[in-house]
Amino acid sequence: MTFFWIITGVLAVAMTGLLVLALIRGQRHTGPSEVFDVKVYRDQLTEVDRDLQRGVISEEDAERLRTEISRRILSADAKVQENDEGSRQPRMLGYVVSGIMAITLIGGTFWVYSAIGAPGYGDLGLKSRMEMAELARETRPSQSEAEAQVPATENPSVQPEYGDLVQRLRAAVAERPNDLQGHILLVRSEAALGNYVAAYEAQERILSLKGDDATADDYADLADMMVLAAGGYVSPEAERVLEATLTRDPQNGVAQYYMGLMLSQTGRPDIAFRLWDRLLRESPSDAVWLPPILAQIEEMAFRAGVSDYQVPQIAGMPGPTADDVDAAEEMSPEERQEMIRGMVTSLSDRLATEGGPPEDWARLITSLAVLGDQAQAIAIWNNAQEVFSDNPDALEIVRDGARAAGLVL
């Protein structure tokens, strides 16, 4: 590694030195036209002496020519001296520019490479990268291994009455293992508590009870719970469930989103980007997978080598203003995340004080889940159930957001 940096440093300094040297030499060899006139006149004086020695001109003509040429030399030299006084500052400016150029080229080279380079790696051609991605996909951790790596988190605060209900539901389902409706309620309850392992185990039982009648959404819900249980990681087991989902419904948005996530995790951001971009353009504005895709699509485009990607404007979905976009472009990732949190907080405050349509409640829940604030997402979902208790259609819209956040199935 040290040898690599020594070689690149020497090359960068050498190339910069050549450019700076060329700039300085150019300044030294350029000047007013009188400089060249003086050289010509001096050559003419030499020619006069040669012609006099060869007898081509007389002594009188030679003297006259010397006088005229000398007068011209004095006039041109005076102009050279005058211009030299005025050119000292530009020359000094040229040296300053050379120094800035040297610092910019050397420092900029190392900065760019440290940002996008990978010191220590050899040349990775397309074929090699694809082979590495395939190997990463085949050897990635299993579901159980991933779950073991997920740090323990505190369960969201719930009312004691709700906790007692869940305990009784678990006991009832254990006594009646073929009770389909009981398992459906158990999945929702465990997910709301953040017990995603128990939730997807109950969902597996639902698939077993339904058999051939299990729908693509049933399989997508199972994959969703498995990914959440693994801390956002798509395991080989979860991938097989996603494939079963897409076999039943190739257009299932949840499955397509998670397949893109899996591809990005196994070294194929190019395919993931194309999949997500198409999904963005084809999805309705209230699709529950839009917020997590929008939160990651620009980074995915960068990883896929698309430097000029523009996020498509989704009709019916409020987007940031031009000022918001300009401000975000100048922010660091931490500042951008803080801005997003501020927007989410503003939306939460507005809904708490003024209320709003169910689409805004759903978007708030999914945004909180993307930011990792699961407890607050659960609190908003519980509040929404009270607000829209008399409006089943609106409550179903909010439920879709809670489902995307992994709170319900």
Domain ranges of the chain: 2-116, 318-409
Give the span between the Cα atoms of 176 and 314, in whole angstroms.
46
Q: DSSP states of 237-252 as a string?
A: HHHHHHHHHHHH-TT-
CA-derived radius of gyration, the chain:
37
- 342 pLDDT band, cuts 50/70/90, is confident
Q: What is the pLDDT of residue 214?
A: 93
Tokens 């006149």 -> residue: 41
Phi, then psi, of 179 in degrees rounded to 5? -80, 100
Question: Do 255 and 242 meet the contact criterion of CB atoms below 8 Å apart?
Answer: yes
Q: Which of 59-68, 95-104, 249-258, 318-327 has the lowest mean pLDDT?
A: 318-327
What's the pLDDT band for 349 if we cut at 50, 70, 90?
Answer: confident
**Mean pLDDT, all residues of the chain:** 78
Q: Read off the pLDDT band of 54 (50, 70, 90).
A: confident
| Poorest-pLDDT segment among 114-118, 303-307, 373-377 | 114-118
Please list, in sequence order, all residues whose beta carbon lies within 8 angstroms of the beta carbon of residue 38, skipping any fewer than 6 positions away.
Answer: 73, 76, 77, 80
- 3-class SS at 119? coil
Q: Using DSSP, state whether 214 is helix, strand or coil.
A: coil
Q: What is the pLDDT of residues 90-141, one digit of tens each?
A: 556 656 666 777 777 777 777 776 666 656 555 555 566 677 778 888 889 9
89, amino acid identity: Q
Give the span between the Cα atoms of 122 and 279, in whole angstroms: 35
State the pLDDT at residue 289: 84
Mean pLDDT is highest, among 145-149, 293-297, 335-339, for 145-149
DSSP codes of every residue in 281-311: HHS-TT-TTHHHHHHHHHHHHHHTT-TT--P
Backbone φ and ψ for 371, nearest 5 degrees, come out as -80, -5
Give the C-alpha distances (Å, rounded to integers) separating 286 from 228, 314, 383, 396, 409.
22, 10, 20, 12, 17
Residues in the chain: 409
Decide which of 385 and 86 is more confident.
385
pTM metric for this prediction: 0.56
